[in-house]
Structures are given as C-alpha cells and as structure tokens.
C-alpha cells in the first residue's frame, strides 16, 4: 500500500493553515483549467513541483512518481484525442492504413492532445501540493471552520483512523493464511478470501463495540471534542504564495499581450 500520510506529517508545511494553502493552490489549478495554454500549464506544474519539493520537503522522486500515476490514463486519453481516422492520407502529418481507411496524427489533433496532457498534469500538481503537505487532521479542522457539518467531519476522521487498522488486520490475516498455504490454488484462494472477509467483518463489529466503551471511559457524550494543534501562517509561506501568484499573473499578462510570441 502506498499511503501519503508518511510525507504529510513530516512536511514543514504541515502546520500551515490549510485555508491559506488552498488559496495558494486553487488559483493556479483554475488557471490551468481555464486558460488551457501549454506554457501556463507547464509553469504551474513547475512552480507547484518546486513548492512541494523545496518548501514542502517532499523528495522529488516521490512527487514525480506520483505524477506518473495518472500518466497511464492520460497517455491513453491523449492518444485518443490525437489520432484521427480518414480515407484521405493527405490530411495527416503521419499516417498508416488501417483496414480501408487511414489512421494518423494531424497537427491540430497533436496540439489538442498536448494541451490536454499539460493541462491535466498542471492541475494534478496543484492537488498533489495539498495532498503531500497537509495531514488529514488539519484538513478536517479547516472543514470545520468552513462549517461543514460536524457529523461528517467526525465520520471522516474515524474512517481515516480505522482504515489503517482494517488494512493492517487484513494484511496480517492474509499473511497468516498464506503461511499455511491458504492461497496455493484457486480453490484455496477463494476459500481463504471468504474466511478473511468474514473475519474482518466480525472483527470490525467487535472493534466498534470496544472503541465505544473506551470513548465512554473518557467522558464521550455524543461528540468527539478535541483540541487542535494551532495553525500557522508563516511569512515565508505568504511570500511564496505572493511570488508564485505574481509569476503566474505576469506570465498570463505576457501571453495575453503578445499572443504571437507564444503560439502554445
């Protein structure tokens, strides 16, 4: 299992007010989607990458590795956009015959595909900035300040916590089964998997009971009231925000003013 929590907790940006972080990452995301210019998308990708790696102290390998995740879908999707079919081979820059028609790349198809590709990458990088530097508790806290109903936030917090316990238990049971040849053939696999799921279900029910008892012991009375670690709004991050937004605004202005210099 790859889980991002390991990076978020260690990040020096983890304590920065998540609303400030949102106001840092959201405008570039919208810019990517709205402007749909390769140059701008690339700039967003680079600046978000730099912010995550240098300010957020997430290793560049992790960031790039995560960008590779949507790559498979994106390449398939972009290829679909780029490739056209026509009986006339002269329409294409490159073409090959498929059945009775020709499949190939046109300049405009290629342009569309590239724009789609960078637009997606730029937007995803904005989300990764948040995902890699913000522990869920601070997100929940932000949601509370945005007046999301308390019940939803509590549920999300509990689900997050118990998801790991569930994964952990499932992993252990599976290991125990494997060590007793539970997955040697298809038949055994089906049987083991069924046993694992029912064991997990029973365990979850029992665990819920025990957990409720434990909460009661500490005076639980219907709401999970906890104190939050204070959020910070460090100057350095504010400067980063101003810098990146300024850069993007300047780039946007430049492209708008001199469109002929930036055909893409």
Partner 1 sequence: MVTAQTILEARELHYTYPDGSQALNGVDFRAERGKLTALLGSNGAGKSSLLLACNGIVRPQSGTVLFRGVPVSYSRKGLAMLRRQVGMVFQNPDVQLFSSSVFQDISFGLCNEGLPEDEIRKRVAVAMRNTGIEALEGKPVHRLSFGQKKRVAMAGVLAMEPALLLLDEPTAGLDPKGAAEIMQLVKAMQRQSGMSVIIATHDIEMVPLFCDHVCVMEAGRVLFEGSPEEVFTRRDKVRQAGLRLPRIGHLMEILKEKDGFRFSEEAFSIGSARRAIKEWGRER
Q: Among 172, 191, 225, 233, which residue sits at the site for partner 1 (rule: CB under 8 A)?
A: 225
- Beta carbon nearer to partner 1, 24 or 140: 140
- Site residues for partner 1, 202-221, by CB under 8 A, read 207, 210-211, 213-221
Q: Contact, 126 vs 48, CB < 8 A? A: yes
Query: How many residues at the interface with partner 1, by CB under 8 A?
Result: 33
Torsion sign, CA atoms 52, 56, 60, 66: negative
Spell out the residues 6+ positions from residue 159 whose beta carbon is closer than 8 angstroms to its own: none
| Contact between 2 and partner 1 per CB under 8 A | no
Comparing CA positions, the residue from 158, 138, 140 lying closest to residue 220 is 158
Alpha helices by DSSP H, 51-185: 60-68, 71-82, 107-133, 136-145, 150-179
Main-chain phi, psi angles of 105, to 5 degrees:
-105, 130
| Contact between 228 and partner 1 per CB under 8 A | yes
The vertex-162 CA angle with 160 and 168, nearest 5°, equals 115
- Site residues for partner 1, 136-175, by CB under 8 A, read 136-137, 157-158, 160-161, 164-165, 168
Q: Contact, 91 vs 109, CB < 8 A? A: no
Q: Among 175, 184, 226, 242, which residue sits at the site for partner 1 (rule: CB under 8 A)?
A: 226
Q: Contact, 131 vs 6, CB < 8 A? A: no
- Beta carbon nearer to partner 1, 87 or 219: 219
- Beta carbon nearer to partner 1, 179 or 223: 223
Binding mask 87-126 for partner 1 (x = CB under 8 A): ----------------------------------------
**Interface with partner 1 (CB under 8 A):** 5-6, 9-10, 14, 135-137, 157-158, 160-161, 164-165, 168, 207, 210-211, 213-221, 224-229
């Amino acid at each position: 299992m790859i889980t991002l929590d390991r990076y978020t907790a260690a990040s020096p940006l983890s304590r920065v007010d998540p609303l400030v972080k949102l106001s840092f990452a959201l405008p570039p995301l919208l810019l990517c989607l709205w402007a749909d210019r390769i140059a701008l998308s690339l700039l967003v990708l680079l600046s978000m990458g730099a912010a995550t790696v240098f300010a957020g102290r997430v290793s560049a390998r992790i960031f790039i590795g995560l960008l590779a995740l949507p790559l498979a879908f994106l390449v398939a999707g972009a290829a679909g956009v780029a490739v056209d079919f026509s009986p006339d081979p002269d329409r294409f820059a490159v073409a090959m015959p498929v059945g009775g028609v020709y499949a190939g790349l046109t300049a405009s198809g290629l342009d569309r595909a590239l724009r789609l590709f960078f637009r997606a990458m730029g937007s995803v990088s904005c989300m990764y900035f948040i995902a890699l530097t913000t522990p869920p508790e601070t997100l929940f806290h932000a949601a509370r300040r945005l007046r999301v109903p308390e019940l939803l936030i509590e549920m999300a917090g509990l689900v997050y916590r118990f998801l790991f316990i569930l994964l952990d238990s499932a992993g252990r049971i599976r290991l125990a089964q494997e060590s007793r040849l539970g997955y040697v053939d298809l038949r055994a696999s089906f049987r083991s998997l069924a046993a694992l799921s029912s064991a997990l279900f029973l365990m979850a029910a029992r665990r819920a009971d025990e957990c409720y008892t434990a909460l009661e012991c500490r005076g639980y009375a219907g709401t999970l009231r906890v104190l939050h670690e204070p959020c910070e709004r460090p100057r350095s991050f504010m400067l980063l925000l101003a810098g990146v937004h300024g850069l993007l605004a300047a780039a946007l202005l430049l492209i708008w003013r001199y469109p002929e210099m930036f055909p893409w």
